[in-house]
């Protein structure tokens, strides 16, 4: 057996392969389950006891040398393969095309445009919590418990605390502002709101609002009208007209709903405006003196106006989208139609 081991050692040490395939052939010949080295280990039990130590050492040396030779040759051929691959690369070629860039969501585009328009006339942006307490969402805005006006909004209440709700309007942000900031106040509050409504082409359980508030001395309804007229012309075009219709909101008095001349038919009448030539876009009014008092503002000295609009509503009119649900489905075919400036 010693003679066979020495012969295999000489073969291993002198072995030089010309290809990866040849290396694999010799690995199988020497080290596989039926290989020569494995067979010698199987026959080791027949070695006389006085030779077992010497034969065992030689066998282990043979196996180690064979494995090292195989590994050395494998690394050599793999290194040569990598080098050849790199030689075939033309570094002057342009880079691979990148993934197609996306775009801002249409609601984000319109929200940013609304913010930009009001920022030009001095309105700051304020943000607040989406989970709000009953006082800031309802009571401070003239809708105490059991007030009939609460029926105007189907509310999501938080189970762990019945006094906490998912805000139904971003007016709650304005209450916080009025409590901690002295007039003059001129701010808009964009954000997501929630109402327990059936989802359809015209309604959703979550949507986005922008509400505005201006409080100072000698503020009048004429100031409100001119502010909204400016916004409408900037958003929908210089030819846009507005009209104000009497309405009711618990936190403003007097209150109004504002329509704009239909952007599709230019006021002539179509299916979108139901052939009236007008489309409603927001609610507004003079801040009720009781709301000012609730928030610690002297209602005898200060007056103010407030307004609120749905961003989805503005976006649908601006881009002539007829189904509200499209804004929440993340369908790339729909979203890629919008580009940001």
Beta bridge partners of 286: 305
Per-range mean pLDDT, top range of 25-29, 193-197, 273-277? 193-197
Per-range mean pLDDT, top range of 122-136, 142-156, 211-225? 211-225
What's the pLDDT band for 211 if we cut at 50, 70, 90?
A: very high
User: Lowest-confidence range among 199-203, 260-264, 282-286?
Assistant: 199-203
Q: Which two tokens stand for residue 135?
A: 């006082």
Q: Which two tokens stand for residue 172?
A: 């709650």
Calculate mean pLDDT across residues 96-102.
65
pLDDT, mean over the chain: 84
In 10 A of CB 229, how many CB atoms? 16
Structural fold of domain 106-335: BirA Bifunctional Protein; domain 2 (3.30.930)
Is the CB of residue 308 less than 8 Å from the CB of residue 210?
yes
Higher pLDDT, 215 or 277: 215
Higher pLDDT, 125 or 6: 125
What's the pLDDT band for 150 if we cut at 50, 70, 90?
A: low
What's the pLDDT band for 122 if we cut at 50, 70, 90?
A: very high
For the chain, the farthest-separated pair of C-alpha atoms sits apart, in whole angstroms, at 116
Task: Give the burial class of 257: count Cβ atoms within 10 A of its Cβ; 0-12 exposed, 13-18 middle, 19 or more buried.
Answer: middle
Residue 341 has pLDDT above 60, yes or no: no
Beta bridge partners of 242: 260
Amino acid 265: pLDDT: 77
Amino acid 85: pLDDT: 54
What's the pLDDT band for 178 if we cut at 50, 70, 90?
A: very high
Calculate mean pLDDT across residues 113-126.
95
- Pairing of β 206-216 and β 303-310: antiparallel
Q: Which residue has the tokens 């919590």?
A: 129
Calculate mean pLDDT across residues 306-332.
88
The torsion of the CA quartet 189, 194, 199, 203, rounded to 10 degrees, works out to -30
Is the CB of residue 197 less than 8 Å from the CB of residue 181?
no
Calculate mean pLDDT across residues 149-175.
81
Long-range CB contact pairs, 12-21, < 8 A, 24+ = 12/62, 12/65, 12/66, 12/69, 13/65, 13/69, 15/69, 16/73, 17/73, 17/77, 19/77, 20/74, 20/77, 20/78
User: Lowest-confidence range among 62-66, 78-82, 318-322?
Assistant: 78-82
């Amino acid at each position: 057996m010693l003679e066979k081991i020495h012969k295999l050692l000489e073969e291993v040490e002198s072995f030089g392969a010309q290809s990866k395939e040849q290396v694999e052939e010799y690995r199988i010949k020497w080290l596989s389950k039926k290989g020569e080295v494995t067979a010698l280990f199987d026959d080791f039990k027949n070695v006389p006891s006085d030779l077992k130590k010497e034969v065992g050492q030689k066998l282990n040396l043979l196996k180690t040398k064979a494995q090292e030779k195989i590994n050395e040759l494998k690394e050599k051929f793999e290194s040569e393969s990598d080098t050849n691959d790199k030689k075939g690369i033309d570094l002057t070629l342009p880079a691979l095309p990148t993934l197609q860039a996306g775009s801002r969501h249409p609601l984000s585009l319109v929200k940013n445009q609304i913010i930009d328009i009001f920022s030009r006339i001095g309105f700051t942006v304020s943000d607040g919590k989406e989970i709000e307490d009953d006082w800031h969402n309802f009571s401070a805005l003239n809708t105490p418990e059991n007030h009939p006006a609460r029926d105007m909004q189907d509310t999501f209440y938080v189970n762990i605390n019945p006094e906490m709700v998912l805000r139904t309007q971003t007016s709650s942000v304005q209450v916080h502002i009025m409590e901690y900031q002295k007039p003059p106040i001129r701010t808009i509050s964009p954000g997501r709101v929630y109402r327990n409504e059936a989802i359809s082409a015209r309604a959703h359980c979550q949507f986005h609002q922008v509400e505005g508030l201006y409080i100072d001395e000698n503020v009048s309804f004429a100031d409100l009208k001119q502010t909204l007229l400016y916004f409408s012309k900037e958003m929908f075009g210089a030819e846009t007209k507005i009209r104000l219709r009497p309405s009711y909101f618990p936190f403003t008095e007097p209150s109004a709903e504002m329509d704009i001349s239909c952007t599709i038919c230019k006021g002539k009448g179509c299916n979108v405006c139901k052939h009236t030539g007008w489309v409603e876009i927001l609610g507004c009014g003079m801040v009720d003196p009781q709301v000012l008092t609730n928030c610690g503002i002297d209602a005898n000295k200060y007056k103010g106006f407030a307004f609120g609009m749905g961003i989805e509503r503005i976006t649908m009119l601006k881009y002539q989208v007829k189904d509200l649900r499209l804004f929440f489905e993340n369908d790339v075919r729909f979203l890629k139609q919008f580009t940001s400036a």
